[in-house]
Structure 1
Amino acid sequence: MMVNYPLTLPLPRLKEVSYKRQSNILRTEMGSGRARQRRRFLSVPTFMEATWRFKKDEAVAFEGFVDHGVQLTGWFLMDILTPKGVVKHQVRFKKDPLENFKPISALVWQYQAQVEVKEYKAASEEEAAISLVKPHTVASFVSSISNSINNYLEYNNE
């Protein structure tokens, strides 16, 4: 069973989160000066730079989760902000958040880590196709073509 990131703890600070997907392109330069490109894998890891700020009681719980809940090497489930909204992903710490932490005040602690996202849930093929035709529907598309044909016929019959 997969361990969940504690629901009582805040997620990484949105202002300080960034994502970097592992390159998935294999490029071969040709003698003609052109190049061939192809996708290497169906899925590649994404790395997230994350910063958390916790009240001191939350910091104690976070440190316990890091050291004992996932023992740093294990995968766990955590909500990640994506363009599709907040989506649960399998993640693990690539860099120990206890290597880089500091007090912001007597009551607030800040932790930073690099997190590996096993498979970032980007838009599916179907979601991409739907979003590309929005706000149009099939009916509006057909109607638009019908109008274009009618206008063309009227213009050529004059």
Structure 2
Amino acid sequence: MAEINYPLSIRTVLLSGYSRNQSASFSTTEVRSGALYKKKVAEHQPTIMSASFKFTSDEAMIFQSWFRNKIKMGFLPFNLNLCTEWGKVEYECQFLPDSLLPVSRDQVIWVYSAKILIKNYGPPAYVPDDISDFPEYILESNRRLLDIIVNTQLNKVSSL
């Protein structure tokens, strides 16, 4: 992980202004007949996130100070909490130079947008690799039922 953290006192990436792209980890070769030939390119492909941030004037000042002084105009990597399929997870990120922080103003709100490289995007260590084999334990409707059962049983044990 990076040594510099995103300032938690200001707003983070907007969920509505957040999209992610990841290249395939393999390539295929077009053939005239027979099956496609597949070749593994890399184990971990870079993940690029298009993000937007909305700040009040005070938050924009804090963000600009952090951007200029802490991460040296976007040159240094930083840690950022992102909402993912696995909940809120901290990733090491870095701004990409080709889209570095275009800014616009929407009345009293400053709107920044950027492309961010997410290093080692994937599930956190506590998520098992074989989670797809047990969907019945993961689905929210079943978790609620499991939560009720566990809480009921724990209350019975604690009252003894």
- 1:4 partner SS: coil
Structure 1 spans left out of the alignment, 5+ residues: 137-158
State the partner residue of 1:84.
86
Q: What do the CA deviations read for 1:124-144 (whole angstroms, capped 9, x no partner)?
A: 7x73423332327xxxxxxxx
Q: What do the CA deviations read for 1:16-49 (whole angstroms, capped 9, x no partner)?
A: 1000012322212234243122332111110000
Structure 2 spans left out of the alignment, 5+ residues: 138-160
Alpha carbons of structure 1 residues 4 and 123: separation in structure 2 relative to 1, 3 Å:
closer
CA distance in structure 1 between the partners assigned to 2:11 and 2:4 by the alignment: 16
State the partner residue of 1:70.
71
Which has the greater radius of gyration? Answer: 1
State the partner residue of 2:41.
40
CA distance in structure 1 between the partners assigned to 2:40 and 2:10 by the alignment: 38
What RMSD in Å do the two structures reach over aligned CA positions?
1.9
CA distance in structure 2 between the partners assigned to 1:4 and 1:11 by the alignment: 12
In the superposition, the TM-score normalised over structure 1's length comes to 0.76
- More helix as a share of residues: 1
Matches within 5 A, 1:1-158: 2-71=3-72, 72-94=74-96, 95-97=99-101, 100-105=102-107, 107-122=108-123, 127-135=128-136
In the superposition, the TM-score normalised over structure 2's length comes to 0.75
Alpha carbons of structure 1 residues 132 and 2: separation in structure 2 relative to 1, 3 Å:
same
Please tell me whether the aligned partners of residues 22 and 47 of structure 1 are also in contact (alpha carbons under 8 angstroms).
no
